Each structure stands twice: as C-alpha cells, then as structure tokens.
Amino acid sequence: MAKHDEKIVVAEDNPRLQELITKRLEKEGYEVYKADNGRQALELINKIIPDLIILDIKMPELDGYEVKRALSKQKLTETIPVIFLTGRDELSDKVKGLSLGADDYITKPFKKEELLARIEAILRRKRYYENMAMHDTLTGVYNVTYFNQQFSQFFNMAERYGHSFSILFIDVNKFKYINDTYGHKTGDTVLQSIAEIMEQKLRKSDIISRYGGDEFAIILPHTELEKAEELATRLKEAVASTKIKNDESAPIAVSISIGCAAYSSGYKTKDNMFEVADKKMYESKRSSGN
C-alpha cells in the first residue's frame, strides 16, 4: 500500500458508491473523510481543509455547484482541487462545472483506475506548485512566506501547550562589499554556500529559510535558549571556516552575525519574539561582525 499524506473528502449521497470510493482511496493510503450531503460536505471541508475534494453534483441540501461556489468565496478553500462526479454526460454540465473552477469532471459509471489516475495527476501538480511556492529559487531553502506560516504555528502551539522552540535571525557580514567587489554572481554563490552549510550543520527538523536579501531565519523546534545558542555557535564557526569559491580570484572568506530568541510567555506576539532575535543579531554585528 502506498502511503500518502493527503486528505481527501468524498461527498457522495449514494452510500454504496461513497463506500466503494472510500475503500479504494484508503487502500492507496489516502486519509479519507465522508459526507452524505452538500451542507455536511461544506462543514467538513472548512473544518479539515483537505488536499482534494471529490464532489457529487446532485446531492441533497446543497448541490455540488453550490458547494463549489461557497468554497470559492473563502481564502482557505478557494484553491482546493475539486473533481466533480455526475451521472450526466451533457456538455453544458461539464462547462458549468469547469467554469466554476473544478479541476476535473468524471461521469458515472467510471473505472476506479481512472479516478485514481486523475486524483494522482491533480495532487502531483498541487505538490509541485506548493513546493515552488514554499522555496527560495536561489538557495533552495524555504522562503519568507513559509517561514512566517510556520512561525505563527509554532508560536500558537507554544502559547497553547507550552512547547519550547527558538529562532535564529542571520545576516551575512559585508555582503554589499562582496557584491561590489566580486560581482553579484559571486554574491549568489555565497548565499547558496551558506544555505548548504546550514542544511549540513543543523538538524533535519530545523526549518531554514531565506528571509530576504542576505538574511536567513531559522526555526528550531523543541529547543531552549542554551541549545539554540550552541547551534548558532556551531553554525557561525562552520561558515567562518569555509572558503567560498570565486571564479575571478582566490576563494573568499565570509562570516555571519546571528541573533537568537527562545519562546517565553513574556512574548505577547510572535513579532515581539522576532524583534528580540533581530535586535540581538544587530548587537552581534556591531560588536564583532561574527
């Protein structure tokens, strides 16, 4: 059985067909949620925010078209892929479904293999575009949008359950000088090399992101301040001991300044916590530049 992380809602009022689809998807490793009518489907979708919806058009209370219209009005649900199921094969029905933003349209009866193939094709595209949207194209680490999303989640979990975590805010020292002296291509190589060092020296659970320009931000899950400072020191020393290759001249040495903050109940917002890491980074920069 293949293992999938994706959640799928099956909204179908025919119990036999609903069960048939559910069992087949569960056999493939998908996490499946069932709804018997349109209103129930809408409530379920808003609750779990699935990765894909299989939506019968003809259902009680709300039909599939009405459910899709409601989803399209909400930011959290407007982009969830939808496959419409229907017993009708009229062109006007297909055009209406696709015009509402459906990703696919399958007419009953259908082959289970066809449904699975279409689901996998849609989810494959979804994974690809989500991956592109989450990562910085130059360095390959996460981007600031993903960092902010994860930072919010970690902060909320810390507030609610007392989970520990820390953040590092990092700036490359004299980066403007590097760009001006060696060129932007070398500057790009410096950022790529530092990102690689971070991935090598930090833990798999740590979330590394390029915050912007020559700045990086890192989330350290389940990490108290003392351990975060150890990781920061290890990172600083690894960068300082690495010579960055340069096509135009001899390899160049670079250094970074790091500010650290660990979660505390004294922080009213995540912005307060980030401001501490930002302030500490600038203190480091002013005192030693490394």
Active site residues: 214
Whole-number CA gyration radius for the chain: 25
The backbone torsions φ and ψ at residue 148, rounded to the nearest 5 degrees and listed phi first, read -60, -40
158 and 212 in contact (C-beta within 8 Å)?
no
As given in the structure block, the two tokens for residue 99 are 């015009």
CA atoms within 13 A on the CB side of 276: 15
Exposed, middle or buried: residue 164 (CB in 10 Å: 0-12, 13-18, 19+)?
A: middle
Q: Phi and psi at residue 262, in whole multiples of 5°?
A: -110, 145
Q: Is residue 244 classed as helix, strand or coil in its secondary structure?
A: strand
